[in-house]
Structure 1
Amino acid sequence: MKGAVAILSPFAWDHALAQADRVLHFGRAPHEWLWFIVQSPLAVRSFNLAYNSWFVVLIASVFIACITRRDTKLRHQFLMSFMLVWILAGFFLAMGLSSAGPCFYERLGLGSDYHSLMQALAAADRIYPIWALSTQDIVWSGYIGATPGSLGISAFPSMHVAMAVLFALYATRRSRLAGLLMWAFAAIIMVGSVVLGWHYAVDGYASVLISIAIWKACGYFLGKFAPEGVAA
């Protein structure tokens, strides 16, 4: 779905989202508040490792939900929420507020607001491999047609954050410890999305609200209309 966003709806919201970030963060870009992390190559590397582990957590969460032996409302709530977050946020909302993200801000000719961030990431990459940078180059090459295919560019909302929050909501209902661990993971993904230049902070904030709203809506729907025989 992400690959279709830039084709169907050209990027038009980056400047507005960048400005919203500054308004919400007292006149400064969010990465400036996180500069103590950005200027540490080891910290950047650690956040990149955590960010890349997101896909493994996604697969594990869906797998656990699918193999749950009891056909619980919780299982349905998670899987329904999972699909709706991808469809409503990952496609329709991404189309409506199409944006590329801070890492592509300068490449789009929008200014040098994030130049210092990208330079700091490049400096960290000379000490530890920062995979986000090579991935950003790959998706940009696909976007401009320099290489065949495209993994898709779409900043708003952050699906990494949206899914991490959904994992945390699900895990909290299964186990208090699992919930605490997954909320910590969601916080790391949120910070990492900004530090690595993938997202504006407002992308993540919106994603948190969207996932919680969809989760609660699905829970309400199942509470009212779940078929008999589905355990609570």
Structure 2
Amino acid sequence: MDQLIAPESPSTSVPSEASSRWLSGPLRLWAVVALFTALGVARSLQVGVPFRDPGGAYFVGRLELTAAIFAGCVLAEAVLRAGLPLSPSRTWRLIREKWTPARLAWSWVALLAYHVTYLVYHNLKSWNDLRDPHDQWLLDVDRALFFGHSPAVLLHDLLGEHAAAWTLFVWYETFPTLVVIAFPACVALATRLKDAYACIAAFVWVWMLGTGTYYLIPTLGPFHSAPQEFAGLPHMPIQDTQARYMQQWDNLRAAPHADDAFAQVAAFASLHVGVAAVIMGVLWWHRLRLATAVMAVFVAGTMVATVYLGWHFFVDDLAGLAIAALAWTLGPLTVGVRRRPVRVS
């Protein structure tokens, strides 16, 4: 298994990272998040709709879930480091050595920056659905790229519309679970706290850049704008989800000030692809080559699934890859991290 050099020991990492140079990274990250939040407030005032967190799905509930996953990752890492035979006292000692109060606090400063970004992202995404969609243009672009053919129809013809449909449905639906585990894990498992900040900054940027693309080209997706292309697929829960999203879209546009008015449908760019590619970047950042290759396969399969199931145009997936690459350029720069950890075998 790949291992990373730990340039800071638990006893010396906090003082060095508490220096003014270290503090500039978290401050710059929060400055970016504050600017994004200010844009959200401006849009909220423009449309006259307050920020919402339906059922705690995007902030309160997510914080609780993150805390549980974070704690699980901390415990799992300590157990693995303690080795066999299992020793609760050794495990607890390793946890206390790494997780000083200062490191724990700075870790949650990063995680809270992510959660604020995620809440603002979902509200901006909802308010963008008040704008008229421009799906036809992307339908035309996709057909031009595939010489007059629909990429979704080509995939249906190539893969079939039964076993492949269910396989790609399951593949697509693994994304939410992967995301909720990935970002707390990248903080909890990082040897260097600055690497945790570089990864969280990349996550923050991909959500913000994705929001920008939604506003650049508001779209709903091929399942709505070209439904005939997906009529041959078996009925799966995904069609129910798509119908629910369109009902939310209709409700929001009919009564945007209603307490339950909240929509979550957008195509350009694909953040299933973008965020999955950022997770691949986390593995790349830590020089975990095999895991990076496995995640690259997952990203490729996600690209196929988004088009096959009608969630996205092919150009949405290309845009998702582009914003992931940009997020990994801006993330480390934002927090002032110049080099990846050194790997040893």
Q: CA deviation at 1:58?
A: 0.4
Match of 1:141 in 2: 247
Give 1:195 deviation, angstroms.
0.5
Q: Which structure has the larger Rg?
A: 2
Report how far residue 217 of structure 1 moved.
Answer: 2.8
Given residue 279 of structure 2, which amino acid in structure 1 is its aligned partner?
A: F
Give the 3 Å change call, closer, same or farther, for CA 231–177 of structure 1 in structure 2: closer
The equivalent residue for 2:306 is 193
1:181 is displaced (CA, Å) by: 1.1
- Answer yes or no: is the 8 Å Cα contact 2:201–2:334 preserved in 1: no
Aligned residues of 2:205 and 2:330 also touching (Cα < 8 A):
no
Measured in 2, the distance between the counterparts of 1:206 and 1:82 equals: 16
Q: Letter of the aligned partner of 1:33 in structure 2?
A: L
Partner of 1:66: 187
**Residue 70 (structure 1) shift:** 2.5
Q: Which structure 2 residues correspond to residues 67-216 of structure 1 after superposition, within 5 A?
A: 67-89=188-210, 91-105=211-225, 114-121=226-233, 124-125=234-235, 130-145=236-251, 148-174=260-286, 175-216=288-329
RMSD: 2.3
Structure 1 residues not aligned, in runs of 5+: 106-113
Kindly provide the amino acid, as one letter, of the partner of residue 133 in structure 1: Q
Q: Kindly provide the CA deviation profile for residues 204-224 of structure 1, in whole angstroms up to 9, marking residues without a partner as x.
A: 1011011112202323455xx
Q: Where does residue 132 of structure 2 map in the other structure?
A: 10
Higher relative contact order (CA 8 A, sep 6+): 1
Letter of the 1:140 counterpart: M
What TM-score, normalized by structure 1, do the two folds share?
0.82
The question of whether the paired residues in 1 share the 8 Å contact of 2:213 and 2:269 is answered with yes
Q: Deviations over 1:53-85 (max 9, x none)?
A: 101110111121121253344322221011111
| % identity of equivalent residues | 22
Residue 139 of structure 1 contacts residue 150 of structure 1 at CA under 8 Å; is this kept in 2?
Answer: no
Give the 5 Å matches for 1:20-31. Answer: 20-31=141-152
Aligned pair count? Answer: 211
Native 8 Å contact 2:201 2:332 kept in 1: no
Deviation digits for residues 135-171 of structure 1, max 9, x if unmatched?
0011111111299544411111111010111111212
Q: What secondary structure does 1:120 align onto?
A: coil
| Unaligned 5+ runs, structure 2 | 1-121
Q: Distance in 2 between matches of 1:213 and 1:39?
A: 35
**1 CA distance for matches of 2:341 and 2:152?**
45
TM-score by length of 2: 0.57
